[in-house]
Chain A
């Protein structure tokens, strides 16, 4: 460690003003502060001293994503061997998944960080660490068979249009990882939906549709057919909870996501208010549909099952809680979260074209988050003004 510090200190003057590589100052700074706690101090005014800066915050989130990632790798192997009808050892499944997932992660990080560094250099900013999390989230919401160049294009779009145009980390109005996924979904729909992309190298005869896709077919099915679809594909809630179902790499296992949620809540980084209200909102809409029961989708899927299907849990824990694009006020968080869950289930059931509605619901509410905050703050101001008048 000491040798590393010494090495960095020795090189530092090269990157400072007037040094040989002064242009690369922010790149150097990024690596330096990634490795060591930064020694920058504020020169004037009051400031809060806290060990947990942006980099540490981001590292915790990445840590919380690890269970989902590891389980995702295992599940990819599991689904593959299941589809071709072979039995394999646990380790084989995991290694198979690892080989499949690793390139996607590498592409996401290389492209995203490359653009991020380039922008920081051009603008003379310090490199922001926001992409550490986005770069991990992007692979986790991709189908395993996503072509790498499409991942690269989506990532580039997300970083440039989703983030840099607004001024970089902390200024974006949408969650960049979801922008990447939305771009992918609309640009290359054949690689993001259907039943061919969720299982790696699957046998042709094996249906690889996600439970959500099966559920979407319920809308037009009736009576016996609907029941048989449900029995065959949607009745095994335990598998959905554990995550042994086809789906995006990191989204399948509600269990692994909950472990991540515990980490986020325990460290105070993710907002439990948002997570809770997303689940409540989803359940509420599901329950309403159960009451209406206009088609088999509404009738047969119990409200709680919506919460463990598809990307609902993943979105609730990792996407909706993104501190930049979410609401900031306490009351706003409840409204924001509730509407995300509510809309996600609503879109899912009402529009078979968008089975994975969590992404759309979160992006939509991201857009409205500042508005919600505005009215919460204004409401508060009004209430307090009234109090003053009564006393006077």
Chain B
């Protein structure tokens, strides 16, 4: 191993930063939409969800990458699922122990991290063909890209839908007295889809290379 890469070579940095922008798992790869709709009504669950996904994805990527040469390719999906499921159960238990309220709010969606397409997608597309370190960075990067969108969506949904941010009231009472009302539609899942759509719209009109030609 004479040609050892430095930890933050350009290639590795790209693994971290690309998913934030031009290779975002939600807006470009269009993965993990379901949980983006489900947990973004408020900021807090969105943040916790991001951290959970980050933990699961990074570790799963590393583990699968470590054993990538020993997994028979015909049963690789099952192996991946076992790894992810074990990690998800860990995360679930940790949340229940230390953040019970949030765990209640996220309810079934923690368990559903197993089916989060981003995780399977990254395992299949990246971890199976790369060394543990890049796989780890890829996991962190993609989870961060996922989290970025989650937080943006949750920001608008909580602000406009509940008038709060991270549980704190930000829209002054005077507004409500003047007739302002929270937008009830923002709380409903369809609005998350619309907000994600707007983000995709903005992103693609800024970066024309993302527009698919058909």
A interface residues, Cβ below 8 angstroms from B: 147, 149-150, 153, 161, 165, 183, 186-191
Contacts and interface: CB of A to CB of B under 8 A. Distances in A.
B207 to A, nearest CB: 17
Interface stretch (B89-97, B135-143, B182-190): B182-190
Interface string B181-204: 101111010000010010001000
Contacts of A183: 185
A157 to B, nearest CB: 9
B72 interface: no
Contacts of A191: 181
Given A147-B179, A161-B194, A187 B201 contact: no
A191 B179 CA distance: 11
A188 B197 CA distance: 22
Interface of B is mostly: helix
A150 B182 CA distance: 11
Contact of A188 (B184, B188, B194): B184
Contacts of B183: 153, 187-188
Contacts of A147: 179
A300 B105 CA distance: 44
Contact of A187 (B179, B180, B186, B197): B186
Interface string B162-177: 0000000000000000
A186 B185 contact: yes
Contacts of B179: 147, 149
Q: Which of B180, B183, B185, B186 has the most CB of A within 10 A?
A: B185
A25 B186 CA distance: 37
B185 A187 contact: yes
B205 to A, nearest CB: 10
Nearest to A161: B194
List the 7 shortest-distance A-B pairs measured between CB atoms, nearest first: A187-B185, A186-B185, A187-B183, A187-B184, A188-B181, A147-B179, A189-B184
B185 to A, nearest CB: 4
Contacts of B197: 161, 165
B211 to A, nearest CB: 14
